[in-house]
């Protein structure tokens, strides 16, 4: 009798075999898209590096490279990408990103001022001059700073100073000046999870900020001082400043400030009211020189020059004028990008435009997702810290989403192929509407995370402002550049100004609509990660399984609704306190002063500046009785718990006995032995700003420096910072999408 074959044991079945087969099928069908994930995993490695709580050993980034290299060598070479080889490639990319961040961090290490100093006499050379809106003075950045009160080995490489007014004869990069100033280290984040200006300053070698006491004396002019290293950048900055001044002279007021932002990237003189209107109307992206502006300049140069050459039949018929114009557009666009300051979005845009023009020269397809991937990889390898920049994130997200949508839709019928002017006009507005909608959706997670704000009517505003910018403002801007060597720029700037004024009017009108700019609660980092992963899956995949990215994208956006803002905020010096009221507003102890912290706290809590609650006077309480104050401090009560905010030593004995947490701006540890927890002046100075959540199940406390760990850019008492040779390029102007630490 034949034995029946044994059935395979269920215990021997691999439960992950089905998942593996699905993964293999996915990799096989998406093989031509796998290279697009290179910058993603570079970013993963960079993100891991910046998320660490302490500086890793030098070999940390090299070890995964060795392991992944071994996997790659052992894996068989097949026509299809196997899981092992793909995983190893991803690990290699992440390791390279990690190592690039390590190298970059070590290479930019420079002295940082350790404590507030001044008034101190100092001398230095100007590398950057920023004229602020009318009545707000100016800001200058100095290099080669020397002071008798600061040892040379501890003197910061760059120092940024606020001036109430510039000298009668304006300063230019390269001038040597003398001044008396109050100096401070770059400020720490205003709250746990807020923008880290110290890290931002570290990667720009900016070691101190402050303000000038009195006036500034020019000790040597730029042309009289020594040249040497970095003279090219100073000369470029002088040219940029001169062009900006000529633009503002021809177009005074807010129109000239916006025109300068579009042409030279200098946004410092734009009034706060215009910035707010542009932000709430969804047009703030027009003020940041990125893909739209750089692409328009390249297109105007390419199309304009080609049209001129086409008017000469012998040239048009016998020579490759299309390639000639592409070759000319590259240096022309580079010149514009250099004058604009070469911020991360500008770099990305120029790299993409350059690759597009090279593709024209090589008779290849121009704008693809692969072009964008190479641009992202190049920037991440050279400046890994750009990954944390909201401008970088939003710029790449918008362009990736636009390319993905048009890839999905296929070849779009161009306006020139439509019948009649009406068809052309409809085509333009449809393209603008689709582009604005896609770009807004792609950048929303980053706008909510970084700025806690969403522009509701952005689509309507962009429908008018983007065509106006594309077909009127930027062509006149390019012509103005061409006329500047002859002193005739006013012929182009004045008609350009009409368009700029119209854009500002659109922004102000839309911003006045009810609910134009909605403040959202702070999104957690894990929520941004989920939304980013979902968006990348949607954009980089081709088949129907790309729709699986919708779920994490929605979950990431929804995470903002799950995050409760802090109930109490205290700054690192104990001078500013804030308490969340029963109706969700925020009461701030000092209505004026410490502007940056106050604005950041309101934004993190989803509260408009004008909607902040009043801080109770001594002997009074707020409407719900949640916050009650006297002359020595305040008590916050919620969920049956009490937190004491103490400003006077005399209140410690009573408050320590009745409160579960004591937050004191004076030393309190010895006098509060009976309190469950104490945060006193020493904790505030050592750990920075604190946030407190009062819940039914207990009190949670987070400090800024506990969140950031022990990293080179985290300033702590009595630390010393290394020196390095002066940088060849000065710090670029601060992107207004970032908090700049503001000197007062």
Once rounded to an integer, what is the mean pLDDT over residues 390-401? 88
**Mean pLDDT lowest for which of 73-77, 333-337, 379-383?**
73-77
More reliable by pLDDT, 21 or 261: 261
Average pLDDT over residues 546-550: 89
Integer Cα distance of 661 and 644 in angstroms = 6
Residue 476: per-residue pLDDT:
94
Is a pLDDT exceeding 50 seen at residue 109?
yes
What pLDDT shows up at residue 538? 92
Q: Does residue 13 or residue 549 have the better pLDDT?
A: 549
Can you give the pLDDT at residue 718? 47
CA quadruple 115, 119, 125, 129: dihedral, nearest 10: 90
The neighbour count for residue 108, using CB atoms within 10 Å, is: 18
pLDDT at residue 371, rounded to an integer: 84
| Predicted TM-score (pTM) of this structure | 0.84
- Quote the CA–CA distance of 426 and 276 in Å, as a whole number: 31
Angle between helices 474-483 and 490-511 (to 10 degrees): 150
Question: Is residue 411 pLDDT above 50, yes or no?
Answer: no
Contacts of 234 (CB under 8 A, 6+ apart): 127, 173, 174, 222, 730
Average pLDDT (554-569) is 89
pLDDT of the residue at 594: 75
* Per-residue pLDDT at 396 exceeds 60: yes
pLDDT of 18: 60
pLDDT of 215 higher than 80 = yes
Give percent above pLDDT 90 in the chain.
29
Q: What average pLDDT does the segment 55-65 reach?
A: 81
* pLDDT of the residue at 422: 61
Is residue 728 pLDDT above 80, yes or no?
no
- Rounded to whole angstroms, the Cα distance separating 300 from 471 reads 10
pLDDT range class, residue 676, cuts 50, 70, 90 = low
Share of the chain above pLDDT 70, in %: 86
> Residue 351, Cα to own-chain centre: how many angstroms?
19
Please work out, in degrees rounded to the nearest 5, the angle formed at the alpha carbon of residue 691 by the alpha carbons of 690 and 696. Answer: 140
Top-confidence range, 12-26, 246-260, 317-331, 656-670: 246-260
Q: What is the mean pLDDT of residues 706-734?
A: 60
List b or e across 543-568, with b for residues whose CB sees 16 or more CB atoms inside 10 angstroms.
eeebeebeebbebbbebbeeeebbbb
Q: Confirm if 90 and 41 have CB atoms less than 8 A apart.
A: yes
Q: How confident is the model at residue 364 (pLDDT cuts 50, 70, 90)?
A: confident
Helix, strand, coil share of the chain (percent; to 5)? 50, 15, 35
* 410 has pLDDT over 70: no
* 76 pLDDT tier (thresholds 50, 70, 90): low
pLDDT one-digit tens code per residue, 435-479: 878 888 888 899 889 888 888 888 889 888 888 988 899 899 999
CA distances from 638 to 364, 582, 606, 629, 695 (A): 66, 9, 20, 15, 8
Confidence of residue 502 (pLDDT cuts 50, 70, 90): very high
Looking up tokens 């990954």 gives 387
The pairing of beta strand 690-695 with beta strand 568-570: antiparallel
Beta strand ranges found along 472-585 (DSSP E): 517-519, 568-570, 577-580
Provide the pLDDT confidence category of residue 168 given band limits of 50, 70 and 90.
low
Residue 629, H or E segment: strand 627-630
User: For 623-643, what is each residue's pLDDT tens digit?
Assistant: 778 899 988 889 999 988 999
| Lowest mean per-residue pLDDT among 66-70, 206-210, 239-243, 296-300 | 66-70
Q: Give the model's pLDDT for residue 19.
A: 63
Tally Cβ neighbours within 10 Å of residue 698.
Answer: 11
Mean pLDDT across the chain: 83
Query: CB neighbours of 483 closer than 8 A, spacing ≥ 6?
Result: 489, 491, 492
C-alpha–C-alpha distance, residues 490 and 502, integer Å: 18
* pLDDT category of residue 71 using cuts at 50, 70 and 90: low
Q: Which of 249-253, 417-421, 482-486, 646-650 has the lowest mean pLDDT?
A: 417-421
pLDDT at residue 722, rounded to an integer: 41
pLDDT (mean) for 123-147? 88
pLDDT band at 565 (very low <50, low <70, confident <90, very high): confident
Give the burial string for 299-322 (b: 16+ CB within 10 Å, else e): bbbbeebbeeeeeeeeeeeeeebb
Q: Is the pLDDT of residue 231 over 90?
A: no
pLDDT band (50, 70, 90) for residue 575: confident
Residue 106: pLDDT over 90: yes
Task: Give the pLDDT confidence of 704-718 residue by residue, as tens digits.
Answer: 988 888 899 998 654
Angle, vertex CA 7, rays to CA 6 and CA 8, nearest 5: 115
The whole-number average pLDDT for the span 485-508 is: 94
Helices (H), 251-290: 254-264, 272-280
pLDDT at 412: 42
- Per-residue pLDDT tens digits for 659-672: 899 998 888 887 77
pLDDT exceeds 80 at position 577: yes
Residue-level pLDDT at 674? 63
HSE, side-chain direction, 13 A CA sphere, residue 26? 16
Give the pLDDT score at 196: 92
More confident residue, 489 or 407: 489
- More confident site: 600 or 426: 600
pLDDT bin (cut points 50, 70, 90) of residue 498 is very high
The pLDDT tens digits of the residues spanning 686-702 come to 899 999 999 988 899 99
Least confident segment among 71-80, 149-158, 199-208: 71-80
């Amino acid at each position: 009798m034949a034995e029946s074959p044994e059935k395979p044991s269920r215990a021997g079945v691999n439960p992950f075999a089905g998942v593996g087969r699905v993964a293999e099928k996915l990799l096989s069908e998406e093989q031509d898209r796998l290279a697009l994930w290179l910058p993603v995993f570079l970013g993963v490695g960079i993100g891991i590096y910046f998320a660490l709580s302490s500086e890793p050993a030098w070999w940390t980034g090299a070890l995964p490279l060795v392991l992944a290299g071994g996997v790659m060598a052992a894996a068989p070479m097949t026509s299809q990408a196997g899981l092992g080889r793909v995983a190893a490639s991803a690990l290699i990319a992440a390791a390279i990103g990690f190592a690039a961040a390590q190298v970059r961090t070590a290479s930019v290490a420079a002295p940082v001022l350790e404590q507030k100093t001044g008034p101190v006499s100092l001398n230095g050379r100007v590398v950057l001059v920023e004229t602020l809106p009318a009545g707000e003075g100016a800001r200058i950045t100095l290099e080669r700073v020397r002071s008798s009160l600061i040892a040379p080995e501890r003197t910061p490489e760059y120092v940024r100073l606020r001036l109430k007014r510039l000298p009668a004869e304006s300063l230019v990069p390269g001038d040597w000046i003398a001044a008396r100033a109050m100096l401070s280290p770059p400020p720490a984040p205003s709250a746990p999870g807020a923008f880290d200006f110290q890290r931002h300053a570290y990667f720009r070698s900016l070691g101190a900020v402050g303000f000038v006491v009195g006036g500034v004396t020019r000790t040597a002019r730029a042309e009289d001082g020594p040249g040497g290293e970095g003279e090219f950048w100073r000369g470029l900055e002088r040219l940029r400043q001169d062009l900006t001044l000529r633009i503002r002279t021809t177009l005074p007021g807010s129109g000239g400030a916006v025109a300068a932002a579009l042409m030279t990237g200098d946004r410092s003189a734009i009034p706060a009211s215009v910035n707010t209107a542009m932000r709430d109307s969804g047009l703030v992206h027009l003020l940041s020189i990125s893909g739209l502006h750089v692409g328009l300049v390249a297109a105007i140069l390419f199309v304009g020059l080609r049209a001129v050459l086409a008017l000469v039949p012998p040239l048009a018929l016998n020579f490759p004028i299309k390639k000639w114009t592409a070759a000319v557009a590259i240096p022309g666009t580079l010149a514009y990008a250099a004058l604009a300051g070469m911020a991360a979005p500008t770099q990305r845009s120029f790299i993409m435009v350059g690759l597009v023009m090279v593709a024209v020269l090589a008779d290849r397809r121009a704008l693809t997702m692969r072009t964008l991937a190479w641009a992202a990889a190049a920037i991440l390898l050279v400046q890994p810290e750009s990954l944390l920049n909201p401008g970088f994130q939003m710029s790449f997200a918008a362009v990736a989403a636009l390319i993905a949508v048009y890839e999905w839709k296929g070849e779009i019928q161009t306006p020139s192929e439509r019948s009649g002017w009406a068809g052309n006009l409809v085509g333009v507005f449809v393209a603008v509407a689709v582009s604005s909608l896609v770009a807004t959706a792609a950048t929303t997670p980053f706008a909510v995370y970084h700025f806690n704000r969403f522009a509701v009517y952005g689509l309507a505003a962009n429908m008018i402002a983007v065509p106006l910018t594309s077909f009127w403002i930027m062509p006149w801007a390019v012509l103005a550049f061409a006329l500047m060597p002859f002193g005739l720029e006013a012929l182009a700037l004045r008609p350009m100004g009409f368009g700029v004024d119209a854009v500002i009017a659109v922004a102000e009108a839309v911003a006045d609509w009810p609910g134009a700019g909605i403040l959202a609660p702070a999104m957690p980092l894990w929520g941004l990660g989920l939304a980013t992963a979902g968006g990348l899956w949607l954009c980089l995949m081709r088949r129907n399984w790309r729709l699986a990215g919708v779920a994490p994208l929605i979950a990431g956006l929804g995470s903002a609704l799950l995050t409760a803002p802090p109930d109490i905020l205290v700054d690192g010096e104990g001078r500013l306190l804030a308490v969340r009221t029963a109706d969700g507003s925020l009461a701030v102890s000092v209505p004026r002063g410490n502007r940056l912290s106050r604005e950041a706290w309101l934004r993190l809590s989803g509260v408009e500046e004008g909607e902040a609650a009043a801080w109770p006077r001594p002997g009074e309480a707020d409407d719900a009785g949640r916050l009650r104050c006297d002359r020595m401090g305040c008590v916050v009560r919620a969920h049956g718990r009490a937190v004491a905010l103490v400003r006077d030593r005399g209140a410690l004995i009573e408050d320590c006995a009745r409160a579960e947490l004591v937050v004191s701006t004076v030393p309190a540890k010895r006098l509060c032995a009976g309190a469950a927890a104490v945060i006193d002046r020493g904790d505030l100075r050592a750990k920075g700003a604190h946030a407190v959540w009062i819940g039914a199940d207990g009190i949670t406390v987070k400090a800024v420096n506990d969140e950031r760990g022990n990293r080179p850019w985290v300033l702590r008492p009595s630390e010393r910072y290394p020196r390095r040779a002066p940088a060849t390029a000065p710090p670029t102007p601060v992107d207004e999408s970032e908090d700049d630490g503001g000197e007062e």
